[in-house]
Amino acid sequence: MTSLQRVQEKFSKEIIETHAFRGDETVILHPGALRAIAQFLKETPELDFNFLMDLTAVDYLNFGECSRSARFEVVYHFYSLKHNHRLRLKVPVAEENPEIDTLSDLWVSADWYEREVWDMFGIRFKGHPNLKRILMYEEFQGHALRKDYPFNKRQPLIGPMN
């Protein structure tokens, strides 16, 4: 029984879609179920996803034919050091109120990843202990990796605008 099947069995209602292209197991789920599923992934002995490898986001603005219902998607990559298996979670996040639950209390590494996603995409993480910019400076306006941020717009701290 793969980890994807275990998650599907337990959370059939909260899951929007799944796929497993060449063994890359992916679960797309409703934002409300994120914490429950994450806790399940971490605490079930057969899954034991003790390593959050990556946490990032995608902005699907002007994505053409593949346009999504929600503008953003937060992506989690989990890995189990014990069982050597992986799982990807994707959570759609709406543009109007880009907010999602934090996982920083379950995986400590999520702390900085979530700060990065807040910095670059402006997605807030409910319950994060210290949600402030991590890469850009505090004076920076806007979020640089949003597709509607002009790609060469600069906000210099010193020196001319160039």
Secondary structure string (H, E, C) spanning the chain: CCHHHHHHHHCCCCEEEEEEECCEEEEEECHHHHHHHHHHHHHCCCCCCCEEEEEEEEECCCCHHHCCCCCEEEEEEEEECCCCEEEEEEEEECCCCCEEECCCCCCCCHHHHHHHHHHHHCCEEECCCCCCCCCCCCCCCCCCCCCCCCCCCCCCCCCCCC
Shortest distance in whole angstroms from residue 137 CB to another protein: 5
Residue closer to another protein by CB (options 129, 159) is 159
Task: Decide: is 136 part of the binding site for another protein (CB under 8 A).
Answer: yes
Kindly indicate which of the ranges 12-20, 26-34, 94-102, 131-139 contains the residues binding another protein, using the contact rule CB under 8 A: 131-139
Shortest distance in whole angstroms from residue 120 CB to another protein: 10
Task: Decide: is 147 part of the binding site for another protein (CB under 8 A).
Answer: no
Task: Decide: is 159 part of the binding site for another protein (CB under 8 A).
Answer: yes
Task: Decide: is 153 part of the binding site for another protein (CB under 8 A).
Answer: yes
Binding site for another protein (CB under 8 A): 135-137, 144, 149, 151-162
